[in-house]
Amino acid sequence: MGIIGLIIAFSTAIFLIFKDYNMGLSLFLGAVILNFFSGFGFINLFEHIIITLQDPTTIKLMLVVTLISGLGFLMDLTGDMRKMIDACINIFKDGRLLSMILPALIGTLSAPGGAILSAPMINETGDKIGLDNNRKTAINLFYRHIGYFIYPLFSSIIVASSMLNKSAASIVKYNIVIMLSGLIIAFFVLFRNLDTEEKHETKTGFAENIYNFSRAFFPIFITLFLALVIKIYFPLAVLIGVVTAVLNNWPEEKKIEVFKNRFYEFFTKGIKYKLTFIIFGVMVFKTILEKSGVINIIAEGLTGLGLPLFLIIIVLGFISGYITGVHVAATGILLAIFIPLFPVGVEGPYVSLLLTSIIIGYLVSPLHLCLALTTEYFSSEIAKVYQLLFLPLIGMILAGVIQIIIFT
């Protein structure tokens, strides 16, 4: 009954997500279904919820994702994001480089549908270097998300490192090769046959632009430095980054009023509390999945198929990312299933391939707001956008598979 329960639970959660119901609630309902199909009662359900809420990993994930979700909002509110973009425009004079860098910078905001923010910039730069609307769409979509592979504050990397009880760096180091493969192939595919390069007039000196970028980027830098180098408690590092963002670009007057307003907007408009509940739903699902013993049955079943593990990872990762249109939920649930199957000591390449498959499925999902909004903005043809993205995305999958072959 456990396997049947998992299929029904997972299918129910995905169906509700597809119908645009609250994702956290959908995952929690899936967890409840799995609980009863696994032979547990109401008392057990409450016990599993309490166990989940008492788990230090759950607490850390909920705090980190909650705070990070508002950090990008603050940097936009204080003008830091605009300063970072302006500095890049002045530093990089090649239109192709700007078309890659600008959406990647906007990607640090982690805002749903955030690609629409960089679309006007790509439109302007793209016109000057001869890009058609389909390529503008593919470029905006691809480069907005490519940085996710090495960004330690990316929610799926945080979830993966916490569930594995390993550092983000142990995952990122395998993602680097995958990301570089995508970047190289995408550059030749998306910028082919361009005769001109747009040259921007630099309004300020190089040193001044570097200073402006560094100052605007400082809230993210201090967060990463404290968490990854000093290794202080991750939620505390993010909180310090948030306070730094609040204090950046401090006005001459009404300082206390501005301070209060920024924090008020951070808690009322900036934080995406739905993400907090998604983490809760994922972790409750994970707890019940572990307690049910279904994971061991699945592990035996998957290994009994005789298929290579990497192939199963690619298929399930892509399908989960594509159907849900959300990477963090797919990451949490699939990792709970696959972790027991990963070879001990060489989990990194497998986790990297799983993340890649999920992100690629998420990237091209019709539920992905960035895809829908960017396609609409440029009035592009989705089939041609997929065609442009095919080689870079396949190249990334192959890079992940090659890593597994090499390291295992």
24-25-28-30 Cα dihedral, nearest 10 degrees: -110
Q: Which of 145, 135, 139, 89 is nearest to 114 (CA)?
A: 145
Tens-digit pLDDT profile for residues 15-24: 887 677 777 8
Separation CA 242–CA 219 (nearest Å): 7
Residues shown for the chain? 408
What Å distances lie between residue 218 and 267, 326, 388, CA to CA?
A: 21, 28, 35
Boundaries of every domain in the chain: 55-195+204-407
Checking if the pLDDT of 217 tops 60, the result is: yes
Report which of residues 2 and 195 the model is more confident about. 2
Checking if the pLDDT of 196 tops 70, the result is: no
Checking if the pLDDT of 35 tops 70, the result is: yes
Checking if the pLDDT of 360 tops 90, the result is: yes
Residues with Cβ < 8 Å from 367, sequence gap 6 or more? 17, 18, 323, 324, 325, 326
For the chain, what percent of residues have pLDDT higher than 70? Answer: 90
Cα 325-21-383 angle, rounded to 5 deg: 30
What average pLDDT does the structure give for the chain?
Answer: 83
- Among 4-8, 44-48, 116-120, name the most confident range: 44-48
Checking if the pLDDT of 298 tops 80, the result is: no
Residues with Cβ < 8 Å from 257, sequence gap 6 or more? none
Q: Which of 391, 368, 347 is nearest to 187 (CA)?
A: 391
Checking if the pLDDT of 2 tops 70, the result is: no
Report which of residues 18 and 5 the model is more confident about. 5
pLDDT band at 153 (very low <50, low <70, confident <90, very high): confident
Q: Global pTM?
A: 0.74
Q: Taking a C-beta distance cutoff of 8 angstroms, is the pair 149, 359 a contact? A: yes
The conformation of residue 269, written as its DSSP 8-state character, comes to I
For the chain, what percent of residues have pLDDT higher than 90? Answer: 21
Residue 255 is predicted with a pLDDT of 74
What's the whole-number mean pLDDT along residues 323-333? 78
Q: Considering Cα of 374, then 378, then 384, then 390, what sign does the dihedral take?
A: negative
pLDDT band at 186 (very low <50, low <70, confident <90, very high): very high
